[in-house]
Amino acid sequence: MEKNPGNTSKISARINELTNDLKNQQIETFRWLHQNPELALQEFKSSRFILKHLQDLSNIEIVHPISKTGIKAILRGNKPGPTVALRADIDALPVREETGLSYASKVKTNYQGTETYVSHACGHDANTAAALGVAAVLNQIKDELYGTVVFIFQPAEEGVPPGEDGGAALMVKEGVLKNPDVDAIFSFHANSMYYPGTVIIGDGITHASMDNIIIKIKGVQAHGSQPWKAKDPIIAGSAIINAIQTIISRDVDLQKGAAVITAGYFHGGVKVNIIPDEAEIGLTVRSLDDDNHELLMRRVKEVAELEAQVHGCYAEVIYGQHYPINRNNPDLYQLIIQGVKEFAGTGNLVKYLPKTTSEDFSYFSQQVPGLYIQYGSAPIDKPLSESKPNHHPEFMVDEAAIKFVTRLECQLIINALKKLHMSLIKGENIT
């Protein structure tokens, strides 16, 4: 057994050289994706584009389609070792881009029956361009790889339309982490609140659980001038929206972690002088603790049903899409963190604190040890205070972030394979 497999500085120099050669092509890839954004489960053009790039790489085996428009690509290194996966998300958002960039998206599409603009307002174009760059670089240095790298291009991270299956959950169901069996998985995501060069990384919870819940309230219709003849679902719905907030303020143990209930919509009625016979509330519910999550699911239903009854109405509670809490694996973090510090500089690391946003990467990290990491992508020519957050119409990725994260991903994968290989030889398992 070699004591220190691979020559680290020689490999770093080679990665730097290859990423320099790739720079223009990678920016072209990023801009093409940026100008051709597609919503969840509509990523057909993006998928064909990614496929074409992967097919140009001689050593890569491709599995396609997986999870509708997704792709899995396998690169087997020349040395024996474990399997590490890199996941990139490929879908865009129904957001009208207002960045003023020369390559801004002008794309429009149909979203649930309404015509809408589409853009990569979450930076999945950069995440994907980086992962394609990593595939191209590692393809050139496969002789140095201890084991196998699986690239996962995942559709529908931003959620699927009601009633549809997709995203990470479906990829797991379709066996994306099997054959070869993945030992660890990583995902890197753009964050416009930090400049390129910053790495946001942690060893615990990164994201809350998410549940979409729909409450349908049935009442009795009547003339608006004679409310005593109605069972008013708008009054019942208003009471429900207020009452369910007390689940957060009075039922949930907030010491265990933050929790949120937000009513994102409340629809009912068509005309000022008609009390309608039904109304609908759409909720998103978030929790950073599993017990609180269970309590929230039960109490939202109880409170909605009872509050509707108080007003003579009936509430039907429908549970929709669910993302689990994402937990970064502490053992995997310990294994790679020194390498990340050496690459980025300790001063450029920011601790990833638990957030009430959600990520379906949790479906992968529930199956195998995983780390969800963010990289700074704020435009370097502006003050940070002017950089707009992800999902904003003026959200932007500085192209300098792409080369940085491509190098970081290459280094981290090589490092993780080597370290996992060594610990497996020693009989240490990360779980």
Verify binding: residue 122, Zn ion, rule CB under 5 A: yes
**Nearest distance in Å: CB 300, Zn ion:** 24
Q: Give the relative orientation of helices 233-246 and 290-310 as an angle to the nearest 10 degrees.
A: 150
Verify binding: residue 145, Zn ion, rule CB under 5 A: no
Are the C-beta atoms of residues 336 and 412 closer than 8 Å to each other?
yes
> Of these residues, 125, 157, 158, 360, which one is catalytic?
157
Residue 281 forms beta bridges with which residues? 215, 266
Span 317-346, contacts to Zn ion by CB under 5 A: none
* Nearer CB in complex with Zn ion: 30/146: 30
Size of interface with Zn ion, in residues (CB under 5 A): 1
User: What's the residue count for the chain?
Assistant: 431
Verify binding: residue 39, Zn ion, rule CB under 5 A: no
* Nearer CB in complex with Zn ion: 91/232: 91
* Nearer CB in complex with Zn ion: 357/366: 357
* Nearer CB in complex with Zn ion: 122/201: 122
Exposure string for 170-187, b = 16+ CB within 10 A, e = fewer: bbbebebbeeeebbbbbb
Verify binding: residue 88, Zn ion, rule CB under 5 A: no
Task: Give dist(CA 12, CA 417) in Å, integer.
Answer: 15
**Nearest distance in Å: CB 115, Zn ion:** 21
Q: Give the CA diameter of the chain.
A: 86
Residue with token string 């009936």: 314
* Nearer CB in complex with Zn ion: 122/217: 122
Verify binding: residue 130, Zn ion, rule CB under 5 A: no
* Nearer CB in complex with Zn ion: 395/404: 395
The residue range among 43-51, 120-128, 140-148, 292-300 that interacts with Zn ion, by the rule CB under 5 A, is: 120-128
The residue range among 118-126, 255-263, 318-326, 393-401 that interacts with Zn ion, by the rule CB under 5 A, is: 118-126
356 CB burial (10 A radius; 0-12, 13-18, 19+): middle
Task: Give dist(CA 390, CA 377) in Å, integer.
Answer: 10
Residue 91 annotated among the catalytic residues of the structure: yes
The residue range among 37-45, 68-76, 117-125, 132-140 that interacts with Zn ion, by the rule CB under 5 A, is: 117-125
Residue 70 forms beta bridges with which residues? 66
Token pair belonging to 294 = 């269970």
Task: Give dist(CA 234, CA 377) in Å, integer.
Answer: 44
Question: 313: which residues sit within 8 A by CB, 6+ positions away?
Answer: 217, 218, 219, 231, 232, 233, 236
Residue with token string 């109490």: 299
The residue range among 59-67, 77-85, 115-123, 397-405 that interacts with Zn ion, by the rule CB under 5 A, is: 115-123
Are the C-beta atoms of residues 269 and 275 closer than 8 Å to each other?
yes
Are the C-beta atoms of residues 161 and 41 closer than 8 Å to each other?
yes
Q: Which residue is at the shortest CB distance from Zn ion?
A: 122
Site string for Zn ion, 274-303 (x = CB under 5 A): ------------------------------
Q: First-to-last CA distance in the chain? A: 24
Question: 81: which residues sit within 8 A by CB, 6+ positions away?
Answer: 145, 146, 147, 148, 417, 418, 420, 421, 424
Say which amino acid occupies 339.
G
**Nearest distance in Å: CB 390, Zn ion:** 5
* Nearer CB in complex with Zn ion: 122/288: 122
**Nearest distance in Å: CB 359, Zn ion:** 8
Token pair belonging to 184 = 């660890």
Q: Give the relative orientation of helices 124-140 and 8-35 as an angle to the nearest 10 degrees.
A: 140
> Of these residues, 89, 91, 158, 359, which one is catalytic?
91
The residue range among 6-14, 33-41, 72-80, 121-129 that interacts with Zn ion, by the rule CB under 5 A, is: 121-129
Verify binding: residue 126, Zn ion, rule CB under 5 A: no
**Nearest distance in Å: CB 372, Zn ion:** 11
**Nearest distance in Å: CB 123, Zn ion:** 6
* Nearer CB in complex with Zn ion: 66/122: 122
**Nearest distance in Å: CB 361, Zn ion:** 10
Residue with token string 């990678």: 26
Residue 251 annotated among the catalytic residues of the structure: no
**Nearest distance in Å: CB 389, Zn ion:** 10
Footprint of Zn ion on this chain (CB under 5 A)? 122
Active site residue ranges:
91, 157
